[in-house]
Structure 1
């Protein structure tokens, strides 16, 4: 019988796993270990509201009283050094914890590009509250900000910096912004938005290194040899899953901690959830690793149920969002296998969606300031339903009244 469950990781997946274990009726001991000293908090606001706000308080996922009321022991600011599967122990930097159920919610860390000067002063990467605090403090003095990377985090921080009156240059190595995640029409729209807000956007501009004087960054050097002045550099070129503990414990890893459809590893006592997890996606038919709050939360619910002997296949519809300036980008589904796209609305109006199909099947929707399209898409894709492409393209058709095949 499972009496003692340990959760490694204190972000969305870890906090949700603890909550779901209690909701699902587990009355044994729960211990949540986090390397950060804060209570588990919302990460998305770090690149936007947190930096812009005067006070800059973290948005806790759940108050301290929740953990106390539900007898969830928090070990904050602690480091897990190893998982001993034979002894059933989680080894900490200052002692051991026994487990007969273990949740790996180890998340991901920022990818550090191998370029010279990356360790200069006033070079920032954003993942944690401490990262955001340092960047927030720097923004009081920063003038010339260069953002390396035109993905979600880079563009969110670029728009935040512009709102704070900074000169902003974004350097993206690829031919378009957010190229791995959204349709070309979305990339083009946000390119124009950021340029309209006053940022300089440079596509197909790889970075060779960072130039420093007296230990602080003063410029970013491109691969072509151009030097772009900068007193502050933000690097946002993706994340790396934290798989080291699982790998050292001889659990299978492959671009993430490998789990089955119920979030279980090969060890029946150990489940995993969140950004560090590689799972066989029910729609794509191949392994994927997703980085989103929704995925972390829903996988944690599945993982908790599995530990308690109530396994169900994970089949949540993935959805994501990004707030940049006054534009809200919402995505549902995965467009990887799409073979055609249909535009609904006009980008020039600032409100439109791109519906992605594989054959006649709707597989994903990218929406800008169109919450209704997004919500309908979550319902349709979850049910395996698809509106006809010609109906989607016709703005006179009320999508809410469609009878969807």
Structure 2
């Protein structure tokens, strides 16, 4: 196996609320190798976005209380703010799920992408007049080069007629084009790791499929490592090499996509798969809905799925659930994983695919 670019070990991120302490990320561990796409799969409230924000050290108002995040051999949980600022946007870029909250409405998309190019080229140093967009005082030659690079990036992510679109404002673009513009901005720094948080949410299936193809091309052509967050099994199946299944801030199962989605061993993973369009039995969908993560506060012992799992035993409630190796590179946190049932599920169910024909929404 190739060297791990990102290693997350026993990560705990906690939020304080009026109702008590919320453990949004509760002991998550996984790796992302170089030139690999890893998916984080789970329903709303499972801790996916909190995990991604913790990796970028954007967890506030939450707080990392335990664990380790190592990127390219550097420990991020103890890194200085100056170090984190150098890493964010240069070595690590993040694409958020709502482009309207990412793009500045008063600047053209070309200017915003070009700004990212300039910041990357100047190692994070930016003159005040450049930041304020005072055109007469800008380094015209440098900005013209950055604008040309912005056009190249817009073409790379599939924005049609980039020579004209570079002057468009965010409100003049469709939702799909805005998401592509955000992706172009993230790629301006040529990051080693791209974190994409629900990048295809609310997009039509054709646009969704094209953006996912762009992500795979980044991995294949530029060796970019990608952490893809999604609640959609089809998106994970089509795009990722490995998948980490989260529930209530904990890893339920992790391993190669092919193995996890065709022979799932954890009851929660099978509940997610039962929500797919191709397996639309109402009773199974109802069982999955019962397993939806709750807003837990305070400390809880045992498996977080215990109150909803039909295979629950006393051991599931009595203490921490140890992670075991189901097979090579296949981990799960379950005391009594019913292997025989998992095998029968894999025989009956085809692997989901986000091929532009159907979406598989578990939220």
Task: Tell me the TM-score normalized by structure 1.
Answer: 0.23
- Find the structure with the greater CA-based Rg: 1
More helix by share: 2
Task: Give the TM-score, by structure 2 length.
Answer: 0.25
Greater strand proportion:
1
